[in-house]
Structure formats: C-alpha cells, structure tokens
Amino acid sequence: MAKIVLTRNPFIKNALKSRYPQLAVFIVMLVGYIFAILAGLIGTPVGSHNFSIVFVWIAWWAILILVAVPFFGRGWCAVCPIPLPGEWLQRGAILAPPDKKPKWLNLRVPKMFRNIWLQNISFLLLALFSSVLLTTPNITGIVLAAMLFAAIGLSTVFERRAFCRYLCPVGGFIGLYSQTAPIELRIKDKQVCVTCEGKPCYNGSSAGYGCPWDVFPGGLTKNTYCGLCMECIRTCPHDNIAVNLRPFSADLAKPSTRMDEAFKAFIMLGSAMIYAGVLLGPWGTLKDAAYNVGSSAWFVYAIIFLAIIFVILPGFFTLGILNTKNVLPLKQRFASLSTALIPLGLMFWVAFSLSFVLTNASYILAALSDPLGLGWNLFGTATTAWQPMLTTVLAPAQTLVLVGALIWSARTAQKAANEVKVSSIPVIVYSLIVTSIMLWLLL
Amino acid sequence: MNRSEFLSRIFVITGIILAIGAPLVFWTRTPLIHARMAENGGWNPDIIQAEVGQPLDLKLTSDDVVHGFAVGQMDMQSVDVLPGKVTDLTLIFDKPGIYTFFCTRWCGLNHWRMRGTIEVSGSSADPEPASIPMYVTLDLDIDAPHESPVVPQQIPSAIRGQELITNSPILQSPDYYRSHSPYQAFTDLSHTTLAEPQRWDVVAYIWQSNTTPESLANGQQLYAQNCAACHGENGAGDGVFADDLAASGEASMQTMTGADNMMMQSPVDFTNPTRMLGASPALLQGKILRGGMGTGMPMWGSIFTEEQIWDLVAYIYSFQFKYHY
C-alpha cells in the first residue's frame, strides 16, 4: 500500500503549520491538567467521583490506548500539556523563536541516560503503585503535579524536552507502539536535507525552534522518538517535511537492535497481563497485595511483578530462540525478534483496556457534572448511575482483538526473523502461549 | 514582544489562573460535612452550630462507604450519605439544646461511634425540665448482675396466661411492670394456686398487656435499624459485627481517645432467660439510655426519645415471651 501524503491537503498543512490551532489545544489541555491536579488534591477522596481519577485514568487512558496510540502513534505527545510550562520557560516565549543565547543551563543529557531505561523504570514505578495511584485522587494529584514540576525542572537544566524523551513514564511505550501507527512524519527528499544549510529543523531559526525531541528529521526512519510536535514543518525552509498516512506497523519491518526497547516490549506485555490478573481477575488476595503498598504482601507482589517482566517472560523467550542457529549474537537476535511483541503488547493493552474502560465509562458523565464532588450538577448528568457498557460484546471483542494480535505478531515475527535470518516458529509459539494466557486472564 | 506572543501569554496566564482559582473559590465556598468510618475520623466537622427557628442547610458527603444521617430525638427520616455524592438537607429546630446526629447505616465495626452534635442556640417558649430516668429514681445499679434464679421450662405464653390471670390490678399497672423484673412478678404470684409454668404464662400476659402492637412494631423497627448489627436480628447476640467485636477485643477500644481501659464484651444475648427474666424494664431502659460503660454498648439517651426506649424495651422482652399479636 502506498503512502498518502496528508500534508498535500492545504487545509491539513495550514492547520499544522500555523501555531494557533495547536496553541488553542495546548491551553485547553493545560487548563484541564492543572484542574485535574487540583481536583485530586481538594476534591472528594472517592476516586470514582473525582475528576482526576475519572478523567485521567478512565477517559484519557481510553483515548490514549484505544485511539491515539493505535491510530496516531505519538499523537497524544503532540498535544500533551506536561512539557509546556517548562518548554515555554526554557525558551522564554510561547510562540516566538528562542534567543541565540540560552536562558538556562541548556546542558546535553549525559550519554548514559540517552536511552529509554529511565522511562522503563519510571513506568514500572507507577505500575507497581498503580492500584493505589489509579484509585486515590490525592496520589493521582501529587503524581500529576510531580510530572509537571519534573518537566519544568529538567527543562531548566537540560536542552530540549529531556522529560519527554528520557523520563516520561508513558512516553516510552507510546514511542514503542507508535511504530505500529498508520501516521508518520518524514522528509520528502533526502537530498534536500543533505544540502540544507544550517539544518533549522534541528537547530532552530527565526521561523521556529529546533526539534524539541532532539531528532534530526532528515534521518527519521521510525516513529519512536518523533513527538509529532510539527515544529519542523514550520522551520523547514524547503517545505521538505510531510505527514503521511501509511500501512500499519510499517516501522517494524526493520527491527530495532536496542535492548532498552526490547525490554520495553517485555515490560508492556508483562504489565498488561499482570494488570488483567490484578484488576479484572477474581483473586482477592492478589488485589489486596497490590493495594497495600508497603506491606510484606505487596513486596512479594512487587518481586513477582518484576520477576515476570525481567526474568520469566524474557527468559522463556530467550530459551525459545536459543536454538535458532545464526551467526548473529544472541543479544541481537533477542532484540530483533522481540519486535514481534510490539503489536502483541499493544493489542493486549487494547483488550485489557476495553473491559476496564467500558466497565467504568459511565463515571465520566457523573464526574463531568460534579468534578470535585461538591454536589454540583453542571450538565445535569451528576446523578448518572454506574452502568457497565456494551457488556454483551465485550468478551467477543476482546477475543477478536487477541486473535488479531496473534496474527499481527506472527507476521511481524516472520519479517523480523527474515531480517536476522532465523526461524520465526519459536517466536510465534511464544506469542501463542502468552496470548492464550491473556485470553484466560480476560475471559 | 510582538502582539501574538503577548496575546498568547495573556491567554495562557488567564487559563492557568482560572484552572487554579475557580476550583479553589468554589471549594472554599461549599462547606461540606464529610462522613468517614469512625476509624478514619467519623464526621468532620462533628460540631455544628444552629439557631432555633432558623433553617440549617447541610451538605453531606461520604469519603468512603455508604453512611446515613439522622438527628436524635427529632422526628426526621434518616438520609443516605453516598460516597462522592452530596446530600442536601435542611433542618429546623424548635427548641434550643445540644442534639446528637449519628450514622444510620452499618458502615463498619465502629459504626455506632459515628456521632456528632448540633448546638442549637436561642430561647425556648416553654422550657421543659428534663425528666429523671426511672433507674435513677429507683436507685437501680444497672451494672450489677441481675440473674433470675429460676427460668421457665418452656417459653411463657401470654395467650395461656390471659386465661389464668385473676383480677389483679396491681400486677397490671404500668408502674409495677416498669419497676419489676419478670422474675419478681413470678415470685409475687407465688401466693396463688398456679403451678410454676402457669405463673410464667401469667407474667408473659402482664408484659404483653403493658405494651401494644404498635409499640412492639415500632420497637422492632428501631431494633432492626440500631441494635441488630451487634445483638443479632433474633436477639441472640450474634449480629454481623459480633464476631468482629470479639476478635478485635480491647484493640478496637483503644483506637478511640481515652478508652484505654475499656474491655469489649460480646453483645448481650436477649434470648438468654437467666439474664433477661431478672431484668426490669427500668433497668433495661437505663442500660439503653446510658449505654454499657466500657462494654462497647453505646449510649442512646441522646438519640431515642423516652417513648422509643420503652418501645424497644417491650420488644426486647418478646425474645422471652410468646405474645398473641
């Protein structure tokens, strides 16, 4: 399937090139984000009726995992409010291009941190505390505020968006899964970039600022680290940047060889399965252990959680591919073949989120009318009763998603196996086994 | 700074101020009464000021589970206080005084500790002197053991008793009933020619004739709402919290300030004839009114009216006697 250049449409192109539509969205998002922090801190401690819990962990999560990531890749990052105050402070302006002389320290992030291991850790930290985080407005408020201030702090110390690129707990998996999305930002003609003087897309110019994601668009082959901020469209003097509609999972044809990304795939796969067990499963002891942060049961839970992600899942995977005789080192085969787990993990999250979101979506209407639990009825929906939605289609839909996940993963495995010239069978068998476990956990 | 940058900053700053300011303003202007399980703080605030004749508007919300709200000695329907929802309620007090409000839902082991007060100021048109409870005028030690040395072999029946009773106005007077235990009445009937089981039947009839079906129904309702959680629906001291109370023992008492020396006891079994037939209505009234100091039995004097307590007392005896209504 050929790519469709969306930016050829003048309406789309102008909407992306102009700063105002994005700024308008930014302001709405930032206001909503700050409101969510406040709601978490001063609103009702009852999670199911607090704006922060309902809008962040139900509404936002639903949009992110069911729509934004699968269809728009890093589309959420394009409108995310978390880096904005820091970035505006860093540049000393909201719209205007920055001064030549940096206002703050503007350091380069040390090389040892220029990978997604910190993101892996920050995601795992939230994941281990998620039962409390997802249900306690106070904690959600504090975590949201902490992310905002961490982003501001990092912007004053390091150049560009260090928070988004290296620390954001959700940024890591959005990037990994954005490779499967049918949207990409790429250059049109490589030669133009090669001969381009000054590379304003990376270094900034009077038309705008250099790539906040520390990416040179001329070298883009994957979606992983492009935040879709559209700044390069504004700075490119040669009109050489395009946003394309493309087949799903186009980026996965060339497997990554990075261990941080390979482990991200295992982290996400494992967390989806553990979440399905803890949040949707019938095991009260497990729920209690996950919820009682700090108790000895919780420590056992945390150890098992980490063992599944870092030992059991990658361990069996390694055992499976051990016999795939090849000149390439095992590490490289491991990283490349784990690409098959990217579509699998994304679909696991979609399947898990379907039940989580459809069960709780009815809280959204009530929380919209009474976001702080102060007895308001802004839109007349405050008394909407809790009612799980689409319960009859849930199980078939989840099964369909998981079957699709398996097929998608198998095709990806075949392509990745071709690249490293080994058999794809062990990876497909592995996918089949974990998908069966996930199906059992969900149904 | 050019115009667009300036306008952008105005919009951003206005947005941030609104996002922080608006919720804070509305939050501080909506005084909510928060209900939490007693272990987590109970009512907050737990002292509310009001004035006689002035409507008192209350906004109640629960921070954890479903609670209920009612004011003692007031003719009002209790309202539910739901988690994350706000219940609006308007009260008007026609007499000054300190009223007790309390949780009406079995929210947890310490449910009965969820109480607060409404201090109603103002002057009353006709101040009523407080009536002295009967156990005080009779000088009863309501903490002393009160066992009945003999108990009937079968449940005494008021129907049989009615056929046996000779005209004895003293035994049927309300004062006699309230101040005597069934065992005392049984003893007072010893001069008659009746056999022991027949005497117990007569006692049952005397107890029945001092109440009405309405009183018993009212007592039953109050019992179901307020007492059954510990004492059990059938009075056997086996309510849903009974096991938890026994298990938590002293520890549960120490969670509240100043209660270090208390010892939790198992809820009294109203089906036990030795204990019940030795207790007079005045004694039971005293126990309900004052509460069992240090036993975990709450005091109900500030919540039930005198009539309600007598209805409850009458109902509690129905675990011992067979009435014909």
Contact A374 B15 (CB under 8 A): no
Tokens of A350: 């979609």
Q: Is B15's Cβ below 8 Å from some Cβ in A?
A: yes
Q: Which residues of B touch A96 (CB under 8 A)?
A: 1-2, 5
Contact A375 B27 (CB under 8 A): no
Residue B60's DSSP bridge partners are B33, B87
Q: How many CA atoms lie within 13 A of B130 on its CB side?
A: 7
Sign of CA dihedral A345, A346, A352, A353: positive
**Residues constituting chain B:** 325
For residue A267, is pLDDT > 70? yes
- In the block, residue with structure tokens 């309300």: B174
Residue B34's DSSP bridge partners are B44, B61
Contact A49 B62 (CB under 8 A): no
Q: Which residues of B touch A31 (CB under 8 A)?
A: 15-16, 18-19
For residue A325, is pLDDT > 80? no
DSSP for A242-288, written as a single string: EEEE--TTGGGGS----HHHHHHHHHHHHHHHHHIIIIISS-HHHHH
Contacts by residues A432-437 (CB-CB < 8 Å, ≥ 24 positions apart) = A432/A406, A434/A269, A434/A273, A434/A313, A434/A344, A435/A344, A435/A402, A435/A405, A435/A406, A435/A409, A437/A273
Give the Cα separation of A193 and A331 in Å (integer).
Answer: 34
| Strands B43-44, B33-35: pairing kind | antiparallel
Among A349-353, A438-442, B109-113, where is mean pLDDT lowest? Answer: B109-113
Average pLDDT over residues A401-430: 92
Mention every residue, 6+ apart, whose C-beta is less than 8 A from residue A365. Answer: A379, A381, A384
- Residue A253, burial from CB neighbour count under 10 angstroms (0-12, 13-18, 19+): middle
Give the Cα separation of A105 and A89 in Å (integer).
Answer: 12
| Shortest CA gap B205–chain A (Å) | 51
- Find, in chain A, the residue whose alpha carbon is nearest to that of B59: A375
Beta strands in A83-138 (DSSP E): none
Q: Is B7's Cβ below 8 Å from some Cβ in A?
A: no
For chain B, which ranges sit under pLDDT 70? Answer: 125, 127, 167-171, 248-265, 294
Question: pLDDT: is A149 or A389 the higher one?
Answer: A149
**Residues constituting chain A:** 443
For A100-159, the pLDDT digits (tens) are 788 889 999 999 999 999 999 999 999 999 989 999 999 999 999 999 999 999 999 999
Q: Is A50's Cβ below 8 Å from some Cβ in B?
A: yes
| Shortest CA gap A302–chain B (Å) | 27
Contact A27 B12 (CB under 8 A): yes
Percent of chain A with pLDDT over 70: 99
Q: Which of A52, A372, A377, A384 should we substitute to test contact with B (largest number of B Cβ atoms within 10 Å)?
A: A372
- In the block, residue with structure tokens 């082991």: B109
> Which of B71, B86, B103, B101 lies closest to B30 in space, CA to CA?
B86
Q: Which residues of A touch B63 (CB under 8 A)?
A: 44-46
Contact B19 A35 (CB under 8 A): yes
Q: Is residue A221 within 8 Å of A251, Cβ to Cβ? A: yes
For B36-71, the pLDDT digits (tens) are 998 889 999 999 999 999 999 999 999 999 999 999
| Shortest CA gap A367–chain B (Å) | 10
Mention every residue, 6+ apart, whose C-beta is less than 8 A from residue B258. Answer: none
Q: What 8-state DSSP symbol labels residue A227?
A: -
B33-121 carries CATH number 2.60.40.420: yes
Q: Is A375's Cβ below 8 Å from some Cβ in B?
A: yes
Q: Is A21's Cβ below 8 Å from some Cβ in B?
A: no
> Which of A27, A15, A64 lies closest to A171 in space, CA to CA?
A64
Provide the pLDDT for residue B260. 44
Q: Which residues of A touch B6 (CB under 8 A)?
A: none
For residue A209, is pLDDT > 60? yes
Give the Cα separation of A179 and A173 in Å (integer).
Answer: 10
Q: Is A381's Cβ below 8 Å from some Cβ in B?
A: no
Kindly report, as residue ranges, where domains of CATH 2.60.40.420 are found in chain B: 33-121
For A107-120, the pLDDT digits (tens) are 999 999 999 999 99
Provide the pLDDT for residue A356. 85
Average pLDDT over residues A340-350: 96
> Rounded to whole angstroms, what are the CA distances from A126 to A130, A148, A302, A331, B7?
6, 15, 12, 28, 38
Give the Cα separation of A72 and A181 in Å (integer).
Answer: 6
Q: Is residue A1 within 8 Å of A182, Cβ to Cβ? A: no
For B140, phi then psi, to 5°, come to -85, 140
Select from A27, A44, A93 the Cβ nearest to the Cβ of B5: A93
Cβ count within 10 A of residue A266 = 21
> Which of B291, B284, B292 lies closest to B310 in space, CA to CA?
B284
Provide the pLDDT for residue A408. 96
For A23-73, the pLDDT digits (tens) are 999 999 999 999 999 999 999 999 999 999 999 999 999 999 999 999 999
Tell me the residue type at A301: Y
Q: What 8-state DSSP symbol labels residue A278?
A: I
Mean pLDDT taken over chain A: 93
Q: Which of B4, B44, B57 should we substitute to test contact with A (largest number of A Cβ atoms within 10 Å)?
A: B4
Tokens of A25: 């969205």
Provide the pLDDT for residue B262. 47
Provide the pLDDT for residue B258. 46
For B118-169, the pLDDT digits (tens) are 999 988 767 677 788 999 999 999 888 899 999 999 999 999 988 887 766 6
> pTM of the prediction?
0.85
- Find, in chain B, the residue whose alpha carbon is nearest to that of A21: B8
- Find, in chain A, the residue whose alpha carbon is nearest to that of B87: A375
Q: Which of the four pLDDT bands, split at 50, 70 and 90, describes residue A98? A: confident
Question: ipTM of the assembly?
Answer: 0.89
Average pLDDT over residues A364-377: 90
Q: Is residue A331 within 8 Å of A420, Cβ to Cβ? A: no
Select from A27, A45, A372 the Cβ nearest to the Cβ of B27: A372
Tokens of A141: 């408020």
Q: Is B27's Cβ below 8 Å from some Cβ in A?
A: yes
- Find, in chain B, the residue whose alpha carbon is nearest to that of A40: B23
Provide the pLDDT for residue B168. 63
Contact B8 A95 (CB under 8 A): yes
Give the Cα separation of A87 and A388 in Å (integer).
Answer: 40
Provide the pLDDT for residue B256. 45
Provide the pLDDT for residue B261. 44
| Shortest CA gap A378–chain B (Å) | 13
Q: What 8-state DSSP symbol labels residue B58?
A: E
Provide the pLDDT for residue A100. 76
Select from A48, A94, A374 the Cβ nearest to the Cβ of B32: A374
Percent of chain A with pLDDT over 90: 81
Average pLDDT over residues A401-406: 96
Give the Cα separation of A230 and A208 in Å (integer).
Answer: 10
Mean pLDDT taken over chain B: 88
| Shortest CA gap B66–chain A (Å) | 11
Q: Is A67's Cβ below 8 Å from some Cβ in B?
A: no
Inter-chain CB pairs, A–B, below 8 Å: 82
Tokens of B98: 């300190």
Tell me the residue type at A352: F
Cβ count within 10 A of residue A326 = 15
B 56-95 near A (Cβ less than 8 A): 59, 61-64, 83-86, 88
Provide the pLDDT for residue B170. 63
For residue A346, is pLDDT > 50? yes
